Each structure stands twice: as structure tokens, then as C-alpha cells.
A = this chain, B = another copy of it.
Amino acid sequence: MSGLTPEAIIQALGALVGERGLLVGADMAAYEQGARYGAGQALCVVRPADVQEVQAVVRWCVEHGVHLVPQGANTGLVGASTPDASGTQIVLSTSRLRGLCEVDVANRSVTVDAGVTLQELNEQLEPHGLWFPIDLGANPTVGGMVAANTGGTRLIRYGDVRHNLLALQAVLLEPAGELLDMGRALRKDNTGPDLKQLFVGTSGAGAVLTRATLEVHVRPSQSATALVVPTSDDAVLQLLQALERDLGDYLSAFEGLSGNAMQAAIDHVPNLRNPFAPEPAPDFAILIELEAASSKAYTGLDLQEALNAFLQDQFEQTIENAVIGNGHELWHLRHSISEGARALGKPIAFDVSVPRSQIMAFCRAARAVVAAEFPFLHVVDFGHIADGGVHFNVIWRNDASQPYDAAAVQALRDRIYAMVVQQFAGSYSAEHGVGPHNSAYYHRYTTPTALQLAQGLRRLVDPRQLCGSVDFGSAPQS
């Protein structure tokens, strides 16, 4: 830390970004509180108007040893974009880095400033029949999506952000304020180490991301949806394999919804209908979505008909019921689960993944652990079966038989993550990344050699560890 007074720091940064670029006091509230975790206190918030201002701020922070936390739309779920409680960190918001959103239609790519949001990006792409097909329940910035390596519900078809990232621009801490362009608008380019990979999925640690070039895709012209009930757990993977074999060119989502998850949404989200009514929601259902970008005039393909015919043949083999539905209605159910779960009580969220061949076995085992060892808790699990991701969320219900107890929550976290990592060869953070919320598990489950390498990487670009809220290379934080 600099020895400067907070007032002196605010004054110096204000001189670099101007009055519009500086927030203090109550204006900082939205930047200090994370979407799910993270509630800190910033020294101030700076909002540089362009990359030159980012460079000036970074240079000044390095010179004076001031810690900065890059922040996009602050929609992350592990507390990585908010300051700690010390009141000594500044938030560097990229929200004004929005000058460029340049579509190269023939290259199917877009070069876009870090502060542009996913929704804005897709609005720019729409007239060209293109989209950036990352689907998730938030509207992050492009910079935030790169820092989180966002996945979402359609990863099985389009990949994550890393798969679609052609080039990246960042402001480094070492050399202080240096602008580094990594990659170009190219699909094939193998010219030494791919440096941009160092800044993908690392939660804003070590550099401020300022611009990205993304591959974009042809917008689908038709889709088909169904909500199906499998005959058994084992049938789920058989169904997925049959679907990939028979209609794999089109599979864009294969989402598992537990009965508890559907029920929570149906009970608590207004205007949401039980698609199985008058029957109750089943123990488990799968939302299948197919998408085709091709023209029916040439293919003659009717996706919904193809899906229906496929499901007909699966009846009594892998499925016992199917709702062929309005896609919007079925997705609304899927996207309402989190809201429904929150209405029940305090969620304890697990964003985990396992090899998808193990996913049903994992969910069964994890539910059994909760029932046996934490019987006062309520499991509301749902997930992206096809990519192995599970939101194994557990609710401490408002009407639970025991009052909320942080030690029990901690014990549950330790127990479930240990199962995922040690027993099922999985990941304790599938798509939300690592932030202060879960960095203890990073330190627990990263081998000493990997930790040493991560430490070395961090030292290369940010030797004093001034940028970001997670230090991937340090000794374990308590």
C-alpha cells in the first residue's frame, strides 16, 4: 500500500479519469456488492473512458502499490469482481469501454470493447443473421465473459468463450500499463505460445482486459424443444447417446431438472405453469433443444417433427413421458429454478462438473450424502447433462428443522467438493470460475507443482499481485 491518504489516491485517480470517471461514497454501492457473493468496500471506483485511461490508471496503481479489482457488469457468482472489506482496493470498471463493436461479416467475427454487454453485442450481430451463442441467466460484459470463460446452457454445441476467442487485448501490470495485443482475427494461427490463454478463465487476475475478437455464428432458423421423463437414471445417458447419434448435428441443450427443482419454480414463480399438469412434476426431467441454422428450402428438415419421431422410438426404451412444448415456456421453467429455490430459503450453491458418463451416479451419490448426513437440508439440483456440469444446489429452507448454521454449511461444502474432486474426477468450479468465495478449494485441490507454475505465471504479468481479487499462486488463504 502506498502511504498516500485515501483522499490523495482519489484525487490522483480523478485527475486521470475525470469527474465522470470517478465514483465515491454511496455511488459505489452497486460496484461493492457481488451478484451472489462478495460484499466489500472500495476506496473508489474508476471508470476509464478508453484504453489510454486504463493504461494511465494501471501505471499509477503499480507505481503507488494500489490494488485494483477489474469489474465488468459485476454478474459473476464467486465474488471475483468486488473489492475486499479493507477499503483500500479500487474497482476498475470497464463499463465505459464501449467504443468499438466492429462486425466482419465475411470473417464471421467481431472485435469488441470489453465493456460491451452480451445483449448489446447480440443486438449488433442480429441484422447480419449472426449471434454470439453463449446462453446464461445474466447479461455480462465481454471482458467479464473472457475472465470467467463463460459456458452456459449451449456449450455442447458452441463451446465456451475460450473456444470462440480469436484475439484479446489486455493492459498488463508488468510492464506497468503496457498494452498487449494477443492474437488476430484468425482461426488458424500457431505462432508460439498462445499468450491470450493466460487471461481466459482467471477471474480478472493479473491484467485488465480491454478488447476481444470473437468468432460468431449463424443464427438458427428453426429449433425444437421437448421436456422428457426418463425411465431411469441409466436411461438418461442412453438417451443422450442416442440423441447425439441420431440428431447430434442439431443438439444445443440437454438440461437435467430434478423434481425438487421444477417444484420450487412451479410453486414460487408467478405465472409459471406445471407442464405436466394435472400430473405432478416427475422426479426428473430433461429439457432437450435442437437448433438448425440451415434453410428448410434445401434440407426439407422439420426439426420438431424429427425430434418427435425420435422420441416416439425412445418410448419405453429410455423415456416414459414427453411434453412437446412451446420452447419459451419450457425454457422459462428451466430459467426460473434459481428464483424458485431462493424463495425456499438460503441456497448453498455447487457449480460442479464430472465426466458426463458419471453425472447421474454423482447426483445420486450426492443426494444420498445430503439425506444421510444433512437431513435438514433440501436438494434442488439441475444441470447441463451433456457437458457434465451440475448445479447441485442445496437449500437451507426457511422452515428447516434446524436454524441456519455456518459451520454445517462449511461441512457440506467440504463434503460435496471432496466427492466431486476425489471420487468422481470432477471439478469444484465448472463454469463460475474461482473467486474469493471458493479460492480455499483452489488451494486445497491444486497440486504443489501446478500451484508453483501458477505463481510463476502471475509474477510474470503482475509481480506485486495488485490486479484482481484472487491470487492463484499464493500460499493457501485461510
Residues on A facing B (Cβ under 8 Å): 104-109, 129, 148-149, 151, 155-156, 159-160, 162-163, 172, 175, 178, 180-182, 184-195, 197-198, 200-202, 218, 237, 240-241, 244-250, 292-295, 297-301, 306-307, 309-310, 353-358, 384, 387-389, 425-434, 442, 445-447, 449-450, 452-454, 456-457, 460-461, 472
Q: What are the residues of chain B within 8 A of A294 when measuring CB–CB?
A: 246-250, 306
Distance in Å: Cβ of A299 to nearest Cβ of chain B: 5
Give the CA-CA distance A353 to B358 in the complex, in Å.
40
Distance in Å: Cβ of A100 to nearest Cβ of chain B: 15
Give the CA-CA distance A104 to B355 in the complex, in Å.
9
Give the CA-CA distance A3 to B108 in the complex, in Å.
56
A299:B301 contact, CB within 8 angstroms: yes
A387:B430 contact, CB within 8 angstroms: no
Q: Which of B105, B191, B200, B299 contacts A427 (CB 8 A)?
A: B191
Give the CA-CA distance A460 to B453 in the complex, in Å.
7
Closest residue to A178 on the B side, CB-wise? Answer: B449
Most-contacted residue by chain B among A299, A307, A354 (CB, 10 A): A299
Q: Which of B106, B192, B299 contacts A357 (CB 8 A)?
A: B106
Q: Which of B187, B194, B237 contacts A387 (CB 8 A)?
A: B187
A189:B353 contact, CB within 8 angstroms: yes
Distance in Å: Cβ of A449 to nearest Cβ of chain B: 5
Distance in Å: Cβ of A420 to nearest Cβ of chain B: 10
B249:A184 contact, CB within 8 angstroms: no
Q: Which of B247, B300, B307, B430 contacts A188 (CB 8 A)?
A: B430
Give the CA-CA distance A107 to B354 in the complex, in Å.
10
Closest residue to A106 on the B side, CB-wise? Answer: B357
Closest residue to A236 on the B side, CB-wise? Answer: B106
Closest residue to A310 on the B side, CB-wise? Answer: B298
Give the CA-CA distance A129 to B244 in the complex, in Å.
11
Q: Which of B151, B185, B248 contacts A425 (CB 8 A)?
A: B185
A188:B106 contact, CB within 8 angstroms: no
A249:B293 contact, CB within 8 angstroms: yes
Closest residue to A442 on the B side, CB-wise? Answer: B192
B192:A434 contact, CB within 8 angstroms: yes
A425:B188 contact, CB within 8 angstroms: no
Given contacts A104-B357, A244-B218, A248-B293, contact A193 B188 (CB under 8 A): no
A188:B431 contact, CB within 8 angstroms: yes
Distance in Å: Cβ of A431 to nearest Cβ of chain B: 5
Give the CA-CA distance A148 to B194 in the complex, in Å.
12
Distance in Å: Cβ of A91 to nearest Cβ of chain B: 22
Given contacts A185-B355, A187-B353, A191-B442, contact A172 B427 (CB under 8 A): no
Give the CA-CA distance A356 to B185 in the complex, in Å.
9
B108:A186 contact, CB within 8 angstroms: no
Given contacts A159-B163, A294-B250, contact A193 B457 (CB under 8 A): yes
Given contacts A218-B245, A356-B107, contact A450 B188 (CB under 8 A): no
Closest residue to A162 on the B side, CB-wise? Answer: B194
B450:A182 contact, CB within 8 angstroms: yes
Closest residue to A459 on the B side, CB-wise? Answer: B456
Closest residue to A431 on the B side, CB-wise? Answer: B188
A433:B190 contact, CB within 8 angstroms: yes
25 A-B pairs (CB sep. < 8 Å) = A104-B355, A106-B356, A107-B355, A107-B357, A151-B190, A155-B188, A160-B188, A172-B449, A184-B425, A186-B354, A187-B388, A187-B389, A189-B353, A190-B429, A190-B431, A192-B472, A193-B201, A197-B198, A244-B293, A247-B298, A249-B249, A249-B250, A249-B292, A249-B294, A299-B299
Closest residue to A390 on the B side, CB-wise? Answer: B188
